[in-house]
Chain A
Amino acid sequence: MSTSSSAPDTSAPALEMKAVRKVYRMGDADIIALDHASLTVQHDEIVALVGPSGSGKTTLCSIAGGILGATEGRVVVAGDDITDYDAKQLTKFRQERVGFVFQSVNLVPFLTARENLLVVDELGRRTGAAARARADQLLEELGLADRRNNLPSQLSGGQRQRVAIGRALMNEPRLVLFDEPTSALDTQLGEQVMELIRNEMKSRGTAAIVVTHDERITHFCDRSVHIVDGHLDAA
């Protein structure tokens, strides 16, 4: 498959979206979630995507991460043009190229913190010992070394979010997508998590998009992009 064969181009932009349109059909009406959105994220850039709920920010994020296909336009992630990928190729792409931190369900409830990281490797490359070493290292960096054998139900909200960040970094992605990573946390904890995200991204030189409706956390990002009714407006 082309995703695995193409050599990673480290200086290429992490994301290039050109004139992307996304239309949902609901009953008889077409709903335009994204309208000719163009966005480029540099290879080590952290971009805040800010907008009210229903503005299309989650849709944009899903298209950038290969969960949704665009109706029109072009999507290139770290040099790979995923515009015409089929479902199987997209699955493989998500497995190998991007990291996700979702808003609600982020961890598999019946797996421990460490296993939630390892599952990424299990589903993909299966490197075994290398993956275990990486998972342990990530948990150490995230301050979760003593929590690695706990189930999600035994962790606090902040700890769970940190495990999710670790999980998103397991496959050494070029782009990590954060969907409202702080919405379930209080202000103080939210800021701690954002700081952690910034440090982790910058130390690795990994690009990230942080979707939020909370203007207070945008200063952790390099720049903010606003989205209203499917239209992007680079501020």
Chain B
Amino acid sequence: MFLALKEMTRAKARFGLLIAAIALLVFLILFQQSLQNGLLTSFVGGIRNQSAPVLVYSVDGQRILQGSIITPDLEALVESAPGVGEVGAIHQGTFTVTSADGAFDASLLGYADPALGAPTTIVEGRLAESLDEVVASSADAESGFDIGDVVRVEPGGLELTVVGLADQAQINAGPTLYGTVDTFLDALRAQNPDAGTPLPNVLGVAPADGTTVDEVVASINAQSDELDAFTKDDAADATPGVAQVRQSFQVIFLLYGLVIPCVTGLFFLIVTFQKAGALTLLRAIGAPAGRLVASLLIQAVLIVGLGYLIGTLLYTPVSQLRLGGIPLEFETAAVITWAIVLMALGLLSSLVAARRVLAIDPVQATTGAGVGR
């Protein structure tokens, strides 16, 4: 500890620069982690966090709620599939909705059965119980979609009251409202009096007793090539763009993750090379090699730790922001995971320098082969 700390306080500039570099890298990694999760949650959070364990799309819908249309024939096929328990229609549409804060492109979901399509992450209030009530995505509470707020579906001016807030319940990165099928139809007719009775977009399905969700998915898909059944998590992952976002960020994380051990490894290698003279001297006067390596590892831990701490401190306020329509969140799991990964990589990279320390021959102190003073 003594040597490690003394050296760091005597060479503040160089250790400071290294800590700054690591802090910036950590900040970027965590920020992009929030960005990735925020992006995905704002597009498919509502699919993940609704009550139907299985969602059935029409193949032509290409796994987009609004693009999918379930005809009565398809609905009959689903209901007759082996292992299917309850089936409930789900409608989704994009409406211009005005709140106290202005006009928004909002998604409205209508479910026939609260057990098959209602949001599961209510953090405040309750589900809709009457025609003019909806639950809103909590991310938009501050945009005039808070409990008690009245919003209007335009054109037509249908008024809806927000009675509950659901976390991570957005789709299409905008305000998302959940009500009953009748509320949805009211909104549609208010907008276009000639709309008639539209077909459901997707079906929510619960498996019958004794059947697993995977079995139900397989059994529905076997009914027709026109049906596309998924568990709700698979439905979220299969939404167009989700895989692309994931793959893109994976490459980014991999590259940033590689830069950190390279920077710390290089730093310690050069520093060890520079102080080879002092290390040789210490070995000659009886310092065990293990102690010198320990001192190096302590520095690595301190530097990665401090860099990580500063990076996280930079990240914390940024993680509370909204980017466009995407609310970011402080990703505790990512912060912990990356801390472990980067600490391990940082230590691993400093082992290259440690090998050099172990290779020092104390006899060089007598020949003056070391560098420095």
- CB pair B363–A62 under 8 Å, yes or no, is yes
- CB pair B287–A123 under 8 Å, yes or no, is yes
Given contacts A68-B363, A119-B3, are A104 and B368 in contact (CB under 8 A)?
yes
Given contacts A67-B365, A119-B2, are A106 and B281 in contact (CB under 8 A)?
yes
- CB pair A102–B286 under 8 Å, yes or no, is no
Say yes or no for A115: interface residue by CB 8 A criterion.
yes
Say yes or no for A122: interface residue by CB 8 A criterion.
yes
When each residue 1-24 of chain B gets 1 if its CB lies under 8 Å from chain A and 0 otherwise, what string results?
011001100110000000000000
Say yes or no for B196: interface residue by CB 8 A criterion.
no
In the complex, residue of chain B having the shortest beta-carbon distance to the beta carbon of A104: B368
The CA-CA distance from A82 to B3 in the complex, in Å, is: 29
Say yes or no for A120: interface residue by CB 8 A criterion.
yes
Q: Tell me how far the C-beta of B343 lies from the nearest C-beta in chain A, rounded to whole angstroms.
A: 25
- CB pair A122–B2 under 8 Å, yes or no, is yes
- CB pair A105–B277 under 8 Å, yes or no, is yes
The CA-CA distance from A167 to B278 in the complex, in Å, is: 14
Q: Tell me how far the C-beta of A3 lies from the nearest C-beta in chain B, rounded to whole angstroms.
A: 11
Identify B366's interface contact among A93, A102, A115, A122, CB under 8 A.
A102
- CB pair A105–B288 under 8 Å, yes or no, is no
Say yes or no for B372: interface residue by CB 8 A criterion.
yes
Say yes or no for A75: interface residue by CB 8 A criterion.
no
The CA-CA distance from A124 to B2 in the complex, in Å, is: 12
Say yes or no for A94: interface residue by CB 8 A criterion.
yes
Q: What is the number of residues of chain B that contact chain A, defined by CB distance less than 8 Å? A: 29
Say yes or no for B61: interface residue by CB 8 A criterion.
no
Q: Tell me how far the C-beta of A100 lies from the nearest C-beta in chain B, rounded to whole angstroms.
A: 6
- CB pair B286–A94 under 8 Å, yes or no, is yes
In the complex, residue of chain A having the shortest beta-carbon distance to the beta carbon of B364: A105
Contacts of B289 in A (CB 8 A): 91
The CA-CA distance from A115 to B4 in the complex, in Å, is: 13
Say yes or no for A88: interface residue by CB 8 A criterion.
yes
The CA-CA distance from A171 to B291 in the complex, in Å, is: 18
Given contacts A152-B373, A179-B366, are A96 and B286 in contact (CB under 8 A)?
yes
Contacts of A37 in B (CB 8 A): none
Given contacts A67-B363, A105-B365, A119-B2, are A94 and B280 in contact (CB under 8 A)?
no
In the complex, residue of chain A having the shortest beta-carbon distance to the beta carbon of B365: A102
Q: Tell me how far the C-beta of B62 lies from the nearest C-beta in chain A, rounded to whole angstroms.
A: 64
In the complex, residue of chain A having the shortest beta-carbon distance to the beta carbon of B289: A91
Say yes or no for A92: interface residue by CB 8 A criterion.
yes
Q: Tell me how far the C-beta of B67 lies from the nearest C-beta in chain A, rounded to whole angstroms.
A: 66
When each residue 301-335 of chain B gets 1 if its CB lies under 8 Å from chain A and 0 otherwise, what string results?
00000000000000000000000000000000000
The CA-CA distance from A179 to B362 in the complex, in Å, is: 14
The CA-CA distance from A94 to B321 in the complex, in Å, is: 60
The CA-CA distance from A123 to B6 in the complex, in Å, is: 14
When each residue 81-100 of chain A gets 1 if its CB lies under 8 Å from chain B and 0 otherwise, what string results?
00000001001111110001
- CB pair B282–A119 under 8 Å, yes or no, is yes
Q: Which of B257-283 contact A (CB under 8 A)?
A: 275, 277-278, 280-283
Chain A contact patch, size range: 35 or more
Q: Tell me how far the C-beta of A170 lies from the nearest C-beta in chain B, rounded to whole angstroms.
A: 9
Say yes or no for B82: interface residue by CB 8 A criterion.
no
When each residue 63-78 of chain A gets 1 if its CB lies under 8 Å from chain B and 0 otherwise, what string results?
0010110000000000
Q: Which of A91, A94, A152 has the most CB of B within 10 A?
A: A91
Say yes or no for A4: interface residue by CB 8 A criterion.
no
Say yes or no for A142: interface residue by CB 8 A criterion.
no
In the complex, residue of chain A having the shortest beta-carbon distance to the beta carbon of B367: A58
- CB pair B365–A123 under 8 Å, yes or no, is no
The CA-CA distance from A167 to B284 in the complex, in Å, is: 12
Contacts of A151 in B (CB 8 A): 10
Q: Tell me how far the C-beta of B134 lies from the nearest C-beta in chain A, rounded to whole angstroms.
A: 66
Say yes or no for A189: interface residue by CB 8 A criterion.
no
- CB pair B373–A105 under 8 Å, yes or no, is yes
- CB pair B2–A109 under 8 Å, yes or no, is no
Say yes or no for B93: interface residue by CB 8 A criterion.
no
- CB pair B6–A105 under 8 Å, yes or no, is no
In the complex, residue of chain A having the shortest beta-carbon distance to the beta carbon of B277: A105
- CB pair B368–A103 under 8 Å, yes or no, is yes
Say yes or no for A111: interface residue by CB 8 A criterion.
yes
Contacts of B2 in A (CB 8 A): 118-119, 122
Say yes or no for A108: interface residue by CB 8 A criterion.
yes
Contacts of A110 in B (CB 8 A): 6-7, 10-11, 275, 278
When each residue 109-142 of chain B gets 1 if its CB lies under 8 Å from chain A and 0 otherwise, what string results?
0000000000000000000000000000000000
Q: Tell me how far the C-beta of A97 lies from the nearest C-beta in chain B, rounded to whole angstroms.
A: 9
Say yes or no for A153: interface residue by CB 8 A criterion.
yes
Say yes or no for B144: interface residue by CB 8 A criterion.
no
When each residue 220-249 of chain B gets 1 if its CB lies under 8 Å from chain A and 0 otherwise, what string results?
000000000000000000000000000000
- CB pair A109–B286 under 8 Å, yes or no, is no
Say yes or no for A61: interface residue by CB 8 A criterion.
yes
The CA-CA distance from A96 to B286 in the complex, in Å, is: 8
- CB pair A115–B368 under 8 Å, yes or no, is no
Contacts of A61 in B (CB 8 A): 366
Say yes or no for A41: interface residue by CB 8 A criterion.
no
A-B contact pairs, 22 of them (CB 8 A): A58-B367, A62-B366, A67-B363, A88-B288, A92-B286, A95-B285, A102-B284, A102-B365, A103-B368, A104-B277, A106-B281, A107-B373, A109-B372, A111-B6, A118-B2, A119-B287, A120-B285, A122-B2, A123-B282, A123-B286, A124-B286, A160-B373
Q: Which residues of A contact B (CB under 8 A)?
A: 58, 61-62, 65, 67-68, 88, 91-96, 100, 102-111, 115, 118-120, 122-124, 151-153, 160, 167, 171, 179
Q: Which residues of B contact A (CB under 8 A)?
A: 2-3, 6-7, 10-11, 275, 277-278, 280-289, 291, 362-363, 365-368, 370, 372-373
